[in-house]
Amino acid sequence: MRFLARSISAAVLMAAWQLSAPAVNAQVAPLSPGPSVPSANIPDQKLDAAAAALERVASLKEDYEQRVAAAPAPPDRERIVAEANAALTKAITDQGISVEEYASILEVAQNDLEVRGKIIQRLHPVDPK
């Protein structure tokens, strides 16, 4: 359970980083990409899934942060955090990728401008007017 909580926390932190402004991103020291997902080998299907999961994770993160902040007692906060972990995991796995794949893809995106651009493009598609 502790590993899952750390994985979810890492995924949420990466999601928050990915959605932040480009100027802020330039100030963040990059992490080295995980060995499980080399940047050149991330299929479009995985990038689609990661982008869709990222949108859902960001929405859930905001909702659950507010709920935890409003919880009156530690047992309530612990229950909400457990619920959040389950919801975040489901949001990611519903896209057909594991939490580990999701975290690895976002970690690669931190260091690889091409991968980052592909994910951002999926988050904010250009309107072909």
Concatenated DSSP letters of 103-127: HHHHHHHHH-HHHHHHHHHHHSPPP
DSSP state of 36: T
Q: What is the pLDDT of residue 23?
A: 32
Residue-range definition of the domain harbouring residue 73 = 2-20+42-123
40 versus 78: the higher-pLDDT residue is 78
Q: What is the pLDDT of residue 29?
A: 38
Q: Would residue 69 count as lying in a domain?
A: yes
Q: Would residue 31 count as lying in a domain?
A: no
DSSP state of 40: G
Q: What is the pLDDT of residue 129?
A: 63
Q: Would residue 129 count as lying in a domain?
A: no
Q: Would residue 29 count as lying in a domain?
A: no
Buried b (16+ CB within 10 A) or exposed e, 23-55: eeeeeeeeeebeeebebeebeeebbbbbbbbbb
Q: Would residue 46 count as lying in a domain?
A: yes
Q: In the numeric block, which tokens belong to residue 81?
A: 């955090």
- Residue 49 near residue 104 (C-beta atoms within 8 A): no
Per the structure, the count of domains in the chain is 1
Q: Would residue 13 count as lying in a domain?
A: yes
- Residue 92 near residue 18 (C-beta atoms within 8 A): no
Q: Would residue 94 count as lying in a domain?
A: yes
DSSP state of 88: H
- Residue 88 near residue 57 (C-beta atoms within 8 A): yes
State pTM to two decimals: 0.68
DSSP state of 37: S
pLDDT band at 19; cut points 50, 70, 90: very low
The total of other beta-carbon atoms located within 10 Å of residue 64's CB is: 18
Q: What is the pLDDT of residue 124?
A: 84
Q: 70-123, pLDDT tens digit by residue?
A: 998 999 999 999 999 999 999 999 999 999 999 999 999 999 999 999 999 998
